[in-house]
Amino acid sequence: MEIKGIIVSGMGKGTYFMSQAIYRDEFEKKLNFKPFVGTLNVGVDSNGIRTINQIPQEKFSIINGQGKFGDVKFVKANLNNKIEGALVFPMKTKHPNDVLEFIAEKNLRNTLKLEDGDFVTIKVEGLE
């Protein structure tokens, strides 16, 4: 299952949430890597939204939040056939549904030299 999108700036919230032990520790356990403190925001069109909505619920894993920190669903994915990571879907979010958040072990803007406006492809693991 392939999703095409464009890099967009986020609201800066990904860094805060990805720095919280409740999320970092669980992502590390469940994804087998320590995620970079931040998310890569990818804008998608209606086809991308439709594709995301077609992912079977059993493909998602969940991290249970605590207190003011809400639950986060995620699905393993690959960015540009180069970087293993995951698409994350916070249950408490202010992002519109046409912006996806991708996490990985490295700062993807630096590693892949990505800038706002660059096109990327995301493949959801196990749904090729």
According to the annotation, is 13 in a ligand binding site?
A: yes
Instruction: Find out whether 50 is annotated in a ligand binding site.
Output: no
Angle ∠(45,75,115) on CA atoms, nearest 5: 50
CATH number at residue 33: 2.40.30.30
Query: Do the annotations mark residue 101 as ligand-binding?
Result: yes
38 in the Ramachandran plot: left (φ > 0), alpha (ψ -120 to 50) or beta? Answer: left
Does residue 10 have a known ligand-binding role? yes
12 is in an annotated binding site: yes
Number of independent structural domains in the chain: 1
Tell whether residue 43 is among the known ligand binding residues: no
Q: Which domain holds residue 24?
A: 2-124
pLDDT tens for the chain, residues 1 to 128? 899 999 999 877 777 777 777 888 899 999 999 999 889 999 999 999 999 999 999 999 999 888 788 889 999 999 999 999 999 998 877 667 899 999 999 999 999 999 999 999 999 977 65
68 annotated ligand binder: no
Closest CA to 37 of 124, 82, 99, 103: 103
The pTM of this model reads: 0.91
